[in-house]
Chain A
């Protein structure tokens, strides 16, 4: 079946550095990918919609200059957390629609970011 893969699955970085998370659709093309953030014991919160070849659409309250999204190909979207701070520590999850199941959204395994 269709698979969405994220990398890295976990990352620890120092405050002030930038971290890039990749999201790949492995056996289908995804013109749209979604990025979510999840804090402990909370539900997934939509951060942005990533569209191939165009600018991402950010949800209210999400800083587009801090969370840079690039969707340069039909199988890859990246989320870069710039100048990360401890409050950015979270579980970041991407998803993509497509593949053989009509309407199904596939999710990546998630990337856990810890900022020291």
Chain B
């Protein structure tokens, strides 16, 4: 079972920031927070991951709370092409052959 909970859907106006929340209250000390997204009929695409510090890359920013029980993915200027299902997953990448376990994710609709 997935260890994260996310809202099933969100809307965002084009050009505005999209803030996608994720709760992972049972995260363990060695587990990272990963975000992937899946555009219709494609394989999941890696976005960003972090352990406890906030992270930023060319796609998004990841804000992790101090207690690490929740996080927020921020797409600073959403475009129509960002419409996708976004998955928040916790994983210890160094614990051997551990796969990503997907929950239901958040379906983000970017509206013109």
Contact = CB atoms under 8 A, between A and B. Distances in A.
A97 to B, nearest CB: 7
Contacts of B34: 105
Interface of A: 4, 6, 32, 34, 36, 43-46, 49, 51, 91, 93, 95, 97, 101-110, 112
Given A97-B93, A110-B41, A112-B41, A46 B46 contact: no
Nearest to A32: B97
Interface residue SS majority, chain A: strand
Contacts of B97: 32, 49, 51, 97
B102 A43 contact: yes
Given A97-B93, A103-B91, A103-B93, A108 B43 contact: yes
Contacts of B9: none
B49 interface: yes
A54 B48 CA distance: 31
Interface residue SS majority, chain B: loop
Interface residues of B, number: 23
Contact of B49 (A32, A49, A103): A103
A104 B46 contact: yes
Interface of B: 32, 34, 36, 38, 41-46, 49, 87, 91, 93-94, 97, 99-105
B91 to A, nearest CB: 7
B101 to A, nearest CB: 7
A93 B102 contact: no
Q: What are the nearest 10 A-B pairs in CB distance?
A: A103-B93, A107-B43, A44-B102, A34-B99, A32-B97, A110-B43, A43-B102, A107-B44, A109-B43, A93-B43
Nearest to A101: B46
Given A32-B97, A97-B93, A110-B41, A105 B102 contact: no
Given A91-B41, A97-B93, A109-B43, A104 B49 contact: yes
Contacts of A32: 97
Nearest to A43: B102
